[in-house]
Amino acid sequence: MIATCSVDYEGRLTAHLPLATRLLMVKADGSVLVHSDGGSYKPLNWMAPPCAMAEVAPDEMEAAEGVTAVWVVQHAKTDDRLRVKIHEVFHDITHDLGVDPGLVKDGVEAHLQALLAEHIHTLGEGYRLIRREHMTAIGPVDILAKDAKGVSVAIEIKRRGEIDGVEQLTRYLELMNRDPMLSPVTGVFAAQVIKPQARTLAEDRGIRCVVLDYDELRGIDSSEHRLF
């Protein structure tokens, strides 16, 4: 839906988006996302499943302000709530996208993921694999693991570690840390090469950087040990 709306988020923090024209997405998995026409592909605000959405009539004050409908989105496991006050709808469409085949990665990146999952202990003593391709509302995290203390770890794997990859992992961590069954979740950004700017951003956000040696993971002897 494309509509003029304002959005209020209440939960562990509060946030307000003033009245503007935005793209509202309600996905089949129950997630609700609020996008603007800028800011790249990251939503301004969202609610990840499990959650329930209901459309209600505006109260008298809201109606006097020009609100025609209100979406109330309540998370099922927390007190997080999204309230979208719609003023005018420009476009509203429903379409079934069908079954998505998922992201097909290039051979090296996919092989890195499989090798690291098989040898998850290379990240540290006591690490154990939970699953590969752990799904979130905005896509799959490459690997979900537990560290020696039992803390959940989200691992994003790239051939070349750049800022976009750090931003991607940051969004996954934001969503996963809303899930009380997973929280707290820490992050590991793993790549064969990590750009200095990406490392700086990751470390500033508390994300651990790991340089992967493809040959070592394949079991080929190397005189260099560059995991850390």
Tens of pLDDT, residue by residue over 126-176, are: 999 999 999 988 889 999 999 999 999 999 999 899 999 999 999 999 999
Does residue 87 sit in the same domain as residue 111? Answer: no
Does residue 86 sit in the same domain as residue 111? Answer: no
Question: 76: domain CATH number?
Answer: 2.70.180.20
Does residue 83 sit in the same domain as residue 128? Answer: no
Q: Is residue 187 part of a domain?
A: yes
Total domains in the chain come to 2
pLDDT score at 103: 59
pLDDT score at 102: 62
Does residue 65 sit in the same domain as residue 116? Answer: no
Last residue of a domain, one of 58, 91, 124: 91
pLDDT score at 225: 43
Q: Is residue 25 over pLDDT 60?
A: yes
Domain containing 165 equals 107-217
pLDDT score at 28: 87
pTM beyond 0.85, yes or no: no
Question: 144: domain CATH number?
Answer: 3.40.1350.10
**For 181-194, what is each residue's pLDDT tens digit?**
899 999 999 999 99
In sign, the C-alpha dihedral spanning 23, 29, 30, 33 is negative
Bridge partners (DSSP) listed for residue 188: 155, 208
Does residue 111 sit in the same domain as residue 194? Answer: yes
Q: Is residue 96 part of a domain?
A: no
Radius of gyration for the alpha carbons in the chain, expressed in angstroms and rounded: 21
Q: Is residue 48 part of a domain?
A: yes
**For 63-122, what is each residue's pLDDT tens digit?**
999 999 999 999 988 899 999 999 999 999 999 888 776 655 555 788 888 999 999 998
Does residue 121 sit in the same domain as residue 186? Answer: yes
Does residue 69 sit in the same domain as residue 8? Answer: yes
**For 138-147, what is each residue's pLDDT tens digit?**
889 999 999 9
Q: Is residue 58 part of a domain?
A: yes
Q: Is residue 101 part of a domain?
A: no
81-206-186-169 Cα dihedral, nearest 10 degrees: 70
Does residue 197 sit in the same domain as residue 141? Answer: yes
